[in-house]
Structure 1
């Protein structure tokens, strides 16, 4: 019998029944919800008189539409957003579903709070009405986003009709150079393979560079793999991920867990439909120049000409992107002035990210003419950053210290770019209007965003003297 990949082991162990050659009925260990993608699902349940049979395997959070300005208690003043939050609370109470509500001290972004509370464990299948559910692959768990109609199906049955993906393995060996992070690594990979380079695949990351990453860095990597079109991202569990989970889940029998999780890896003779390899030493700090995450280059490079694109469609996309972002072929990114800096999101709103920002900011001030905000990914991250003195350092330097939420990542609250404003952002997408109508987004790492904040322009963070403590 041929060996199996980690992805196939997870799918096989959660298959209730094979529906045909390509589709299975997949069991979900955990289902996450937010106020934005769940209302129609609950309405569908009510319309058919259905209950939620496994409320303990659901978790809901208010994160997309919630304001982040520092007021206590927080009040959602936008009527439509307030209605979404009230509906989520009412639906959760009706079905007995746990909810991190607006003023819960542990409220935060769904993809930040679930791991930090030990809810994500190796071998699980985790679903959510949000595309960045791929984050959980950092734990050796299969996570992916689903649509609203599928949310209803999962609520009613704890299962999903699922089309099995193909297997891709991406090996990254070597050591990331100083000043670079997993955010730079994933932008490097996406820029190389394209926004559709992993379409239809579940990607397993392996190699010495991957094993050297912290859990926060692995979550960033898996979070953004969806930007290459991937249907899932996975890293086999090791002592880094197992230790992280055991420290946050005291209910687990460590001995039994280690024995079970040891089998969560691809067999030596497992076959992959596609295999790619990258050298970590070749990664530099990356910045996006266009309106797709794959339109990214090293910070020291110049904006490519549309004529260099692979085909006519990519060329047209590049021309449109340059028109929107206000750049021209051949321009350098380094030195480009920014008016806004946003640090946060489910990609880069964890404590490790904020520590990296603090290291750059220490001894410096936000540059004149720049509005810089930091939005922690959760109440726990916010409290930890305050306890470590990070919050005081940042506010003393001129940053806005906000409350947790998705915030300007997708501008569904009042954290919005004005038309024409250029933003150095640690988020995951730079689409037209993503952070505000006619706003211009440049994706980069937290350290790079911090460097932009204190210099007033896109700056290679490696040029700054940084005192690590």
Structure 2
């Protein structure tokens, strides 16, 4: 009667603290430049080394520019953070994929594509979107800097066991509806705090029908519902994705691993602390209108009117619309935009670029739209070129930038100017997230592509017919 989460968690518990947390063994620690410096300093102060350095992988992604990466980083703060990570990894003997390294990229994109993230693992990183790796059939979650230090020193972390939730989505997603739309729909239904304290297992035909990259997008956004993380049971899709990857098991070890991975599923009589069920047919392409990812609507719908909003939430609702310069009851289809961003750990994979290219092929980018197309890794960049996607995009008037987190967050050179609207495939639309006073509309790669062509928020289904 155990859930998939229970099975993986229980197999990694070193000991349970009486009336306290569990000491959980961690298979993989990922580090980037923003949340690791204090952890390394803590080890130095205590005269400690990393307990299992072979299980730690590091790369810069948040602060790096997406152009001229062969030159020194212009911003002194960003340059200092990236240089500090490089020197720390050298001092502590850790695997490091630096700027311009062929394996560099956003850490939550590189982990799965290299086979570093595998079914049955426990995976942590000092970044909330570590939940991404749960798509592999792993327990993956973000931790704080002091916990990063704890894992470096002991390969364990102290954690309270979360409650379990299962979200089942019946049926298949319609044409033009993606994993991003599914995630935005769930956030709107459950709110951004609806899964707080839970670890979510995604199930049902709609989830099983997703590609691995779609599952990565779905789990990436679990944190935006307040969840500790998200997970999808490994199946043939997972196994086929992992097969042959650099860090995947080989030979007899592969056969043994696959046999184990096939046991990683919730028992038929498993009991979850909470369950939800939704119908895929109810979901259309989605966009957000507010300043949290749960403030979203179907692309054909209108922003809710004030009478549809709970009285306790009306002040924040009106504040959010004021920031976005929208009004209750307004329809956003056709609303003029200024920027489009394709990328981030949410939608910066090769499948996302294929989807974007499928819409813009044979068309031209609107002259008034600035488009930033940023691969999630150098591996994705190589695939883009190998498949000729770069030519398709160039013919349509688009340029591809170098890999990095880019304008997902205002922590590098890529920032949306004040008051401008950006249709973004990233994960958060908080005030100032993409630049001071920038206005973010979250959407799928298909919606982003259609909007880039039209110069306004557009329904991709019209271009896919």
Partner of 1:296: 296
- Maintained 8 Å contact 1:338/1:422: yes
Partner of 1:460: 459
Partner of 2:101: 104
Partner of 1:282: 282
Give the direction of change, closer, same or farther, for the CA distance of 1:134–1:465 in structure 2 (3 Å limit). closer
Q: When the two structures are superposed, what TM-score results if normalisation uses the length of structure 1?
A: 0.97
Deviations 1:147-189 (A, max 9, x none): 1111111111111000110010100110101110010001001
Distance 1:306 1:130 in 2: 35
5 Å-filtered alignment, 1:115-134, equals: 115-134=112-131
Number of matched residues? 462
Partner of 2:192: 195
Partner of 1:351: 350
Q: Which consecutive segments of 4 or more residues in structure 1 shift more than 3 A? A: 249-252
Gaps of 5+ in 1: none
Partner of 2:257: 257
- Maintained 8 Å contact 1:191/1:295: yes
SS in structure 1 of the partner of residue 407 of structure 2: helix
Deviations 1:385-406 (A, max 9, x none): 0111111221232223100000
- Maintained 8 Å contact 2:116/2:248: no
Q: CA deviation at 1:9?
A: 1.0
Q: Which deviates more from structure 2 when the two are superposed, residues 14-23 or residues 152-161?
A: 14-23
5 Å-filtered alignment, 1:108-187, equals: 108-187=105-184
- Maintained 8 Å contact 1:74/1:103: no
SS in structure 1 of the partner of residue 62 of structure 2: coil
Partner of 2:375: 376
Distance 2:307 2:48 in 1: 55
Deviations 1:318-344 (A, max 9, x none): 111100011001111100100000000
Distance 1:209 1:202 in 2: 19
Query: Could you tell me which of 61, 68, 88 is aligned with 2:59?
Result: 61
Deviations 1:77-106 (A, max 9, x none): 111111111110111001110111012122
SS in structure 2 of the partner of residue 413 of structure 1: coil
Partner of 1:307: 307
- Maintained 8 Å contact 2:166/2:276: yes
Q: When the two structures are superposed, what TM-score results if normalisation uses the length of structure 2?
A: 0.98
- Maintained 8 Å contact 2:342/2:348: yes
- Maintained 8 Å contact 2:249/2:257: no
Q: CA deviation at 1:74?
A: 4.1
Q: Which deviates more from structure 2 when the two are superposed, residues 124-133 or residues 384-393?
A: 384-393
Q: CA deviation at 1:232?
A: 1.4
Partner of 2:339: 340
Give the direction of change, closer, same or farther, for the CA distance of 1:416–1:232 in structure 2 (3 Å limit). same
Deviations 1:283-305 (A, max 9, x none): 10000000000000000111112
Partner of 2:28: 30
Give the direction of change, closer, same or farther, for the CA distance of 1:151–1:383 in structure 2 (3 Å limit). same
Partner of 2:238: 241
Partner of 2:402: 403
Distance 2:350 2:433 in 1: 25
Distance 1:326 1:433 in 2: 14
Question: What is the root-mean-square deviation in Å for CA atoms of aligned residues?
Answer: 1.1
Partner of 2:225: 228
Distance 1:75 1:391 in 2: 26
SS in structure 2 of the partner of residue 448 of structure 1: helix
Deviations 1:106-149 (A, max 9, x none): 21000000110011111000000000111111111000000111
- Maintained 8 Å contact 2:187/2:293: yes
Q: CA deviation at 1:251?
A: 3.3
Deviations 1:26-75 (A, max 9, x none): 11000000001101111111111111121110000110000002x36143
Partner of 1:417: 416
- Maintained 8 Å contact 1:172/1:277: yes
SS in structure 2 of the partner of residue 400 of structure 1: coil
